[in-house]
Amino acid sequence: MREEKYEIIGMHCAACSASVEKVTRRLPGVERSDVNLTTNLMDIVYDETQTTPEMICAKVEKAGFGIELHAEHPEQQSSEAKKNSNDDYQAQKRRLIGAAIFSLLLLYVSMGQMLPTPLPLPDLFSMDTHGVNFAVLQLILTIPVLFFGSSYLKSGFSALIHGNPNMDSLVTIGSSCSFVYSLVMTFLISDNMHHVHHLYYESAAIVLTLIMLGKFFEARSVQKTKGAITKLMELKPDTAILAENGREVPTSTLKVGDVILVKPGEKIAADGEVVQGRGSVNEAMLTGESLPVEKEPGSTVIGGSISQDGLLQVRVSRTGDDTTLAKIIHFVEDAQGKKAPIAKIADRVAGVFVPVVIFIAALAAILWLLLGQDFAFALRIFTSVLVIACPCALGLATPTAIMVGTGLGASNGILIRSGEALEITHKVNAVVLDKTGTVTQGRPAVAAVVPAGISEQELLMYAASVESGSAHPLAGAVTAYASENGLAVQGAENLTEFPGRGLQATIAGSVILAGNRRLMDEHSIDLSALDSQTADLCAKGQTLLYFARDGHLIGLIGVSDPIKPSSREAIETLKKEGIRTVLLTGDTKAAAASIARQAGVDEVIAEVLPADKAAVIQQLQKDGKTVMMVGDGINDAPALAQADVGCAIGSGSDIAIESADLILMRSDLKDVPRAIQLSRLTIRDIKQNLFWAFCYNTVCIPVAAGILFPAFGILLTPMIAGAAMSLSSLCVVGNALRLRTKKL
């Protein structure tokens, strides 16, 4: 079996993606075909002895869509392709601006004359004295809008021709009928001035402009999604230094077994094993943990991580697609390419709604002709049905609620990447939380000071004095704590650094040793006096720094990453709503368990590698959970993309933010339950809007078809139909705007 990804061009709704899936699944030997509307990608698995790529492309093109083989990684795309993508985006933006300008002018001319106090307009274009000029001016203003939105009109007609009607088809029929009827009325005004009241050019233009606005926002979201992959690729350094000859070579030429030299401050070019040297390596961009990891001969290192101190020689163990970074990129791409779980309600009914409306309109017109009415009467019925069924209310039901909902979220510090994320968040019943920077503050702080034979103040003075000469995050935590307690730092002399272990310095004539247990063992420092305290602090997951003066232990300092003040309250709120909370971290089990107790989470999963985080999310989904992942590190990117809803903390990495569906700008976990509440309010509003839109069509279409004319003489003219259509849209928009008054 062969698996390939194709980019599908010209899809605009769920009906489009369903159509592509339907035609490709009918091909012989096709095992699976899934189309993702958001990324415009089709993932297809097929037997290449029965089906060829040419057959797949032919089927998709016959259905009315374009198709291209998808490049697996961003670096495979040429700079020209990237430039063309940006040019298309800018062209779409220019078309939207042009359509909006002409639509606003058209509204001023057409609707401005309907107000109790008409808006000023030269007498040459007065609807009362120069009706033809009034109509022609609207025609002139409408034509550019139709031109700017021609791609959607073509899509709508193409979908109809190929038997796959979509939301573009609804817009196309509504806009075209409004335009054609208005055009006919324009030619008849010279014979009967009353026809000046039967112009619906603004209906044709405004519907199209609103659709263009929605598609523009969608295109911008897709561009940002692609940016996440690009930033991941930038973590990989371009060159590496070979240890045997000091020669700088491209990273892409490295082979398994090569030994590379990594200097302090440099990125490690590939996954490997340290063969010589000691030092600290910052893996935060990949593991999410803020504390550097000490490396020595035999330790493994991850490509893309940064050496902080010490000169390391690393034997390359994995290159290319086998590296941890490459796998993270693959996980993000794979998760982002999966089919969205939410299908738009309006798109699902479009395939039935469009042909039914056309059938009713045509049937009504034919019946009235058979009953003896003239062609003008039948045309009036046909147009009234189509105008009153124009999908303004149906098309606005979801996007207006989503736009207001996302605006309410933004005003509360909750940025929402897409309408789909807002729609699915209300279903979340499991929230997976990264530890560092999400539940905790993301920076080390002194948690315990345990002196041995001296005062606490004296221990802090020695500790801060010696650690002031180091740029290590743990040293920064100690000096910051001493400063907060008003302790003065003394000058340190003869400072010696032991990479991966600690420091030594002379302070006030005494030799002070500061570092981990390994450094103390190397200098034969007896630590037994603090064994009980050591065991207690280790059980709490704290990192311990030991201090000795002139060969004797004088105390230890425990450093940990404290939880944010709001974390426990946020987790309690989630649990009250019946949502399960899971702490997922690459940190040790002891540290994770300590944080879990403080925060009150339901379950702890610790010591998890970056690639495995997405697998944990996937298992929860298999268990029937709708999962929200909350994280802030690059290591969280695959899990954020895999989750039904990815939620990034605003203080997190760019990669995490770009991979997420929701972004909490205030870095406050209490915004997680607020986001879920916002989704519930928005979904309720969408359902109300859709009910009104469908109810409106159910009631008004038969009336427009003339069902009340024989008994009561009631007949909707296209003008009344247009007014009713506008009223339905106003009701939908007004209902959506009520969201703005809600408090989260």
Question: What number of CA atoms fall less than 13 Å from residue 200's CA on the CB side?
Answer: 29
Per annotation, catalytic residue among 43, 271, 434, 644: 434
Spatial contact of 614 and 335, defined as CB atoms under 8 Å apart: yes
* Nearest in space to 198 (alpha carbons), one of 183, 176, 215: 183
SS3 call for 629: strand
CA 289 to the chain's CA centroid: 23
Helix 375-388 vs helix 671-704: angle between axes, to the nearest 10 degrees? 170
Spatial contact of 417 and 226, defined as CB atoms under 8 Å apart: no
What contacts 24+ positions apart, CB below 8 Å, involve 248-255?
252/320, 254/316, 254/319, 255/316, 255/319
* Nearest in space to 236 (alpha carbons), one of 655, 557, 640: 655
* Residue 221: CB atoms within 10 Å: 16
Surface-to-core class of residue 3, CB atoms within 10 Å of its CB (0-12 exposed, 13-18 middle, 19+ buried)? exposed
CA distances from 313 to 301, 497, 500 (A): 11, 19, 15
SS3 call for 261: strand
Catalytic residue status for 238: no
CA 163 to the chain's CA centroid: 33
SS3 call for 433: strand
**One-character DSSP codes across 586-606:** SS-HHHHHHHHHHHT-SEEE-
b/e map 362-375, b = 16+ CB within 10 Å: eebbeebeeeebee
Q: List the structure tokens of 69.
A: 């083989």
CA distances from 192 to 81, 110, 223, 299, 580 (A): 56, 19, 52, 90, 69
Q: List the structure tokens of 22.
A: 């339907």
Beta partners for residue 241, in sequence order: 248, 261
Helix 671-704 vs helix 392-411: angle between axes, to the nearest 10 degrees? 160
Name, in order, each residue with C-beta under 8 angstroms of 663's C-beta and a sequence gap of 6 or more: 414, 415, 417, 647, 648, 649, 650, 657
* Residue 33: CB atoms within 10 Å: 20
* Residue 150: CB atoms within 10 Å: 12
- List residues with catalytic annotation: 434
